[in-house]
């Protein structure tokens, strides 16, 4: 609870500095208040149960001194013991919940592979939901180029087919390299929006892969031309 209280103070400072959205501070305060209330209620119930147990044990001892043993007293004590165990288990759950909140207070994302950051989807201090993508990573070395053949060319594309790749990222310099088709997709799928001739009319094609020549030094998302007997969508 002390760690969560520290998180609230830090959040208040960040909000004052306009480095954190007020919603995040409200959420942290709500978590702190809810957890503090749960802990207080559980501690009170535990103390009450312990006091009831002590009183019952005292009455039991006094009773045993004057009366023969009666099993109903042990039954009553067992009920109280069970209640205490339930409250102790609840306290353990609250402690685990606090530890979970501490772990989630600051989470470090690690890249699952070597590569380059190709897109940042959220800014600093922006609220994100669990499971929502934050950034995208592309492989550092481009090994394949994905292309799409329209209906008129689907039957012509074959694995091992030789093609020419044309890179004209610089107007004054056009690079042309030979390569070959390494894979042909089994089904037709929608072509990426940025490749549509008309942005309002979806286009479809059969995807296939072409080996990317290392000397072209392509980067993730870069477009290149493909020359065969007929023009393709790339």
User: Mean pLDDT score of the chain, rounded to an integer?
Assistant: 78
Q: Could you give phi then psi for residue 167, rounded to 5 degrees?
A: -115, 120
pLDDT recorded at residue 178? 92
Residues 6+ apart with CB under 8 A from 227: 163, 164, 165, 166, 176
| pLDDT tens per residue, range 170-215 | 767 888 999 999 999 999 999 988 888 898 999 999 999 999 998 8
pLDDT band at residue 70 under the 50/70/90 scheme: low
Lowest mean pLDDT among 16-20, 97-101, 111-115, 162-166: 16-20
Give the three-class secondary structure for 131. Answer: coil
pLDDT recorded at residue 204? 93
Residues 6+ apart with CB under 8 A from 218: 142, 145, 167, 212, 224
Q: Does the pLDDT at position 2 exceed 80?
A: no
127 contacts 204 by C-beta, under 8 angstroms? no
User: Given the DSSP bridges, would you call strands 162-170 and 225-227 parallel, antiparallel or unpaired?
Assistant: antiparallel
CA R_g for the chain: 34
More confident: 3 or 86 = 86
Tokens 């209330």 found at: 37
Q: How far is CA 175 from CA 182, 196, 208, 212, 220, in A?
A: 21, 24, 22, 13, 17
Mean pLDDT of 24-40: 73
Q: Does the pLDDT at position 23 exceed 80?
A: no
Q: Does the pLDDT at position 233 exceed 50?
A: no
* Bridge partners, residue 165, by sequence: 177, 226
Give the three-class secondary structure for 132. Answer: coil
CATH class of 139-227: mainly beta
Q: Does the pLDDT at position 139 exceed 50?
A: yes
More confident: 220 or 18 = 220
pLDDT band at residue 51 under the 50/70/90 scheme: confident
List, as own/partner pairs, every contact residues 33-42 make where C-beta atoms lie below 8 angstroms and the sequence separation is at least 24, other chains included.
35/1, 35/4, 35/94, 35/97, 35/98, 35/101, 36/1, 38/94, 39/1, 39/91, 39/94, 42/87, 42/90, 42/91, 42/94
154 contacts 186 by C-beta, under 8 angstroms? no
Lowest mean pLDDT among 34-48, 104-118, 149-163: 104-118
pLDDT recorded at residue 190? 93
Give the three-class secondary structure for 171. Answer: coil
Q: What distance lies between CA 82 and its chain's CA centroid?
A: 40
pLDDT band at residue 33 under the 50/70/90 scheme: confident
- pTM summary value: 0.43
Residue 153 to residue 66: CA distance in whole angstroms: 102
pLDDT recorded at residue 3? 60
């Amino acid at each position: 609870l002390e760690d969560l209280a520290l998180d609230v103070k830090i959040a208040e400072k960040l909000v004052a500095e306009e480095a954190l959205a007020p919603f995040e501070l409200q959420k942290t305060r709500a978590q702190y208040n809810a957890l503090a209330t749960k802990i207080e209620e559980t501690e009170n119930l535990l103390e009450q149960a312990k006091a009831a147990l002590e009183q019952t044990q005292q009455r039991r001892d006094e009773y045993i001194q004057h009366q023969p043993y009666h099993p109903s007293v042990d039954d009553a004590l067992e009920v109280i013991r069970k209640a205490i165990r339930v409250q102790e288990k609840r306290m353990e759950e609250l402690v685990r919940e606090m530890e979970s909140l501490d772990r989630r207070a600051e989470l470090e994302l690690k890249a699952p592979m070597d590569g380059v950051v190709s897109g940042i989807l959220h800014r600093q201090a922006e609220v994100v939901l669990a499971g929502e993508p934050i950034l995208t990573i592309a492989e550092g070395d481009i090994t394949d180029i994905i292309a799409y053949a329209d209906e008129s060319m689907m039957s012509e594309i074959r694995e091992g087919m030789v093609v020419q790749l044309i890179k004209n990222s610089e107007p004054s310099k056009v690079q042309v390299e030979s390569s070959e088709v390494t894979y042909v997709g089994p089904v037709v799928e929608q072509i990426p929006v940025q490749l549509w001739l008309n942005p309002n009319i979806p286009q479809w094609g059969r995807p296939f892969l072409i080996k990317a020549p290392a000397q072209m030094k392509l980067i993730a998302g870069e477009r290149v031309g493909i020359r065969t007997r007929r023009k393709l969508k790339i």
